[in-house]
């Protein structure tokens, strides 16, 4: 019998380590990490009205309207019906959660609770490789060569929405939007608090291992 396909969500405020933890889960369990933010950034390049609209929201650190992100995510999930789903940053509102519940029953929701000051410090030191979405941090995981992506050698950039004023807006908005989502999923919610991903990771690894077999040992993330 085919093993059950994982339907998991990782939530947390900007800078909480969603992308970092999802990449570790993807590598350790042999599945793909689906980031709503990355899909949006990739959609901007296509031009068109939707891309221009989304750009305005992203740059200001505002949530993109539910109907825009839901349509985008449903299309991406439709392509992956026969694959594990590890969703990073979606759903982020009750409306999005209800849309997702309309097409699947989630197995687990992981919530990363990281102190406000830690989030701000992390985002000020975040550098990304736009094409791949790979994430670096001058303090936590610097690139082998300063300023360039480890795999392609292409330049790293800081995201427009990681500027302090945009970060403040994102952090302010996150809590209100996320509260009803956590409430909806309280029966399958696993919250992890702390200031270091490396300390949270073993618990996340153990939790996922209870759902699907790992392909790498915990320490080889
Ligand atoms: N100092 C530090 N930085 C971290 C830690 N975990 C992740 N980061 C960095 O913090 C930034 C935000 O992490 P990211 O995974 O992008 O968070 P997301 O916005 O929730 O997806 C990135 O630059 C990461 O490299 C940690 O434990 N300590
Ligand atoms: N589920 C979502 N609903 C609405 N907007 C979203 C969603 N996911 C991402 N976005 C938009 O994309 C931006 C970047 O998201 P993401 O890459 O997850 O960054 P972060 O984890 O740092 O918030 C968000 O600030 C928001 O503007």
List the chain domain ranges. 7-210
For residue range 69-87, list pLDDT tens digits in order.
999 999 999 999 999 999 9
- pLDDT for 20 equals 97
Look-up of token digits 């699907």: 212
Query: What's the complex ipTM?
Result: 0.97
User: 94, 41 in Cβ contact below 8 A?
Assistant: no
For residue range 93-115, list pLDDT tens digits in order.
999 999 999 999 999 999 999 99
Q: Enumerate the β-bridge partners of residue 200.
A: none
- pLDDT for 99 equals 97
Mutate to test the pocket of ligand 1, among 34, 122, 126, 201 (most ligand atoms within 8 A of CB): 122
| HSE (side-chain half, CA atoms, 13 Å) at 20 | 24
The closest residue, in CA terms, to atom 13 on ligand 1 is 17
Q: What is the mean pLDDT of the segment spanning 117-141? A: 94
Spell out the alpha helix ranges (H) of the chain.
18-29, 36-44, 48-59, 66-78, 94-101, 116-124, 164-184, 197-209
Q: For residue 2, is pLDDT > 60? A: no
User: What residues does ligand 2 touch, defined as CB less than 6 Å away?
Assistant: 14-15, 18, 35-37, 40, 57-58, 61-64, 69, 89-90, 92, 96, 161, 170
For residue range 19-40, list pLDDT tens digits in order.
999 999 999 999 999 999 999 9
- pLDDT for 45 equals 73
Strand order in the sheet with 189-193: 33-35, 85-88, 7-11, 108-113, 189-193
CATH architecture designation of domain 7-210: 3-Layer(aba) Sandwich (3.40)
């Amino acid at each position: 019998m085919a093993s059950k396909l994982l339907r998991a969500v990782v939530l947390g405020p900007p800078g909480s380590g969603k992308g970092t933890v999802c990449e570790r889960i993807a590598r350790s369990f042999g599945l793909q990490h689906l980031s709503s933010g990355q899909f949006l950034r990739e959609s901007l390049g296509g031009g068109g009205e939707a891309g221009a609209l989304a750009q305005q929201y992203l740059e200001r650190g505002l949530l993109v309207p539910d109907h825009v992100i839901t349509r985008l995510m449903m299309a991406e999930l439709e392509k992956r019906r026969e694959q594990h789903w590890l969703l990073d940053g979606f759903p982020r509102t009750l409306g999005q959660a209800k849309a997702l519940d309309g097409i699947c029953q989630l197995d687990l929701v992981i919530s990363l609770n990281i102190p406000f000051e830690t989030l701000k410090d992390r985002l000020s030191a975040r550098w990304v490789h736009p094409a791949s979405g790979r994430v670096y941090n001058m303090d936590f995981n610097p690139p082998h060569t300063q300023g360039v992506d480890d795999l392609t050698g292409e330049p790293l950039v800081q995201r427009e929405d990681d500027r302090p004023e945009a970060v403040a807006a994102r952090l302010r908005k996150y809590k209100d939007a996320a509260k009803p989502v956590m409430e909806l999923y309280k029966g399958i919610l696993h919250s992890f608090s702390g200031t270091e991903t490396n300390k949270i990771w073993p618990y996340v690894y153990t939790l996922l291992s209870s759902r699907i077999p790992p392909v790498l040992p915990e320490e080889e993330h």
